[in-house]
Amino acid sequence: MTTEKGSDYLPWIRCWAPGYTAEDQIQKLPRGRKTKDNAKSGKWLIFIHKKNAEKVWGEIKDATENGLLGVGSKIFNPSIPTSRSIVVACIYTYDYEDKVDVYRVLSKLRELGFTGTLSYKTDEATLRGHYGKGVTTYRDPPHPPSYYFKLAYRLMKKENLLVDEALHKARTYKEGN
């Protein structure tokens, strides 16, 4: 694992999807965006107990480096002594307005077994110093993955949908529709 210092001077461990570099993600922001006024990137936030962080990070890192998740990922280094028992991992997408990509990454995170609440925050909100309740752009509540995958499978068969379309529809499905 390589530790790099982020803009907030906290020790983060980072990895990149194929075709992306640290310069793309950190220094310029994806696609050359340099200011908080036009940053379109964002991230899914996963809160992990420190004792599970290395195992979970290994899964996120492998999926990111194999191009299955977003443009890059990072985790607060769990070996840094702090009073907190929870660390955060961030899985970045290049553009929070690209809902297809944002939900594609969410689907992959669910496939990896992340069943708790997942929140998505724009980098614009972070750059503006917005933290805490009410700053997330998207939120996916906790759910057992088997229910949604079974429903998505039925929708794929019944409506001839692609996997990502069926997963998205399954998450928004209302009984009786």
Q: Tell me the pLDDT band of 151, cut-offs 50, 70 and 90.
A: confident
Q: Average pLDDT for residues 161-174, to the nearest whole number?
A: 69
Q: Is 80 exceeded by the pLDDT of residue 85?
A: yes
Provide the pLDDT for residue 67: 93
Q: Tell me the pLDDT band of 33, cut-offs 50, 70 and 90.
A: very low
Task: Identify the CATH homologous superfamily for domain 3-142.
Answer: RNA Cap, Translation Initiation Factor Eif4e (3.30.760.10)
Q: What's the CA gap between 111 and 107, in Å, rounded?
A: 6
pLDDT by residue (tens digit) across 116-133?
889 999 988 888 888 888
> Which residues are paired to 47 by β-bridges?
88
39 touches 122 (CB < 8 A): yes
- Intervals of CATH 3.30.760.10 along the chain: 3-142
Q: Average pLDDT for residues 105-114, to the nearest whole number?
A: 89
Provide the pLDDT for residue 173: 61
Residues 6+ apart with CB under 8 A from 133: none
